[in-house]
């Protein structure tokens, strides 16, 4: 049982934790879990996963082209 769990134990109602003890326990839990590896980005940063890049020609109407970065790997239709 971690320090945080012992402070939040419902079976011991006579134990009252002060604010400093709660802060220390919270920081203990927060710092004990570190990511073990870097997770890859799930979507393309250029088109945000839509497969199409939006561009304008200056007339207020959007135009779309296949994303040059990912190439629309899912085969989505043009919006």
Q: Do 75 and 57 fall within a single domain?
A: yes
pTM higher than the cut 0.75? no
* Residue range of the domain that includes 48: 37-79
In the structure encoding, which two tokens stand for residue 67, read together?
């994303």
Cα–Cα distance, 5 to 71 (Å, whole number): 49
Higher pLDDT, residue 66 or 57: 66
Q: Do 52 and 27 fall within a single domain?
A: no
pLDDT of residue 66: 93
pLDDT of residue 24: 81
User: Which 3 state secondary structure label does DSSP give 4?
Assistant: helix
Q: Do 45 and 62 fall within a single domain?
A: yes
Taking the CB of residue 76, how many other CB atoms lie within 10 A of it?
A: 14
Beta carbons of 29 and 4 less than 8 angstroms apart:
yes
Per-residue model confidence as pLDDT tens digits over 8-63? 666 666 666 777 877 887 787 777 766 566 656 567 888 888 899 988 877 777 88
pLDDT of residue 27: 80
How many domains, in total, are found in the chain?
Answer: 2
């Amino acid at each position: 049982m971690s320090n945080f769990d012992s402070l939040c134990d419902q079976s011991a109602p006579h134990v009252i934790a002060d604010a400093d003890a709660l802060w220390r326990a919270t920081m203990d839990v927060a710092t004990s879990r570190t990511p073990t590896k870097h997770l890859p980005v799930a979507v393309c940063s250029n088109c945000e996963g839509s497969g199409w890049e939006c561009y304008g020609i200056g007339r207020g109407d959007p135009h779309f082209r296949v994303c040059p970065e990912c190439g629309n790997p899912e085969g989505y239709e043009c919006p």
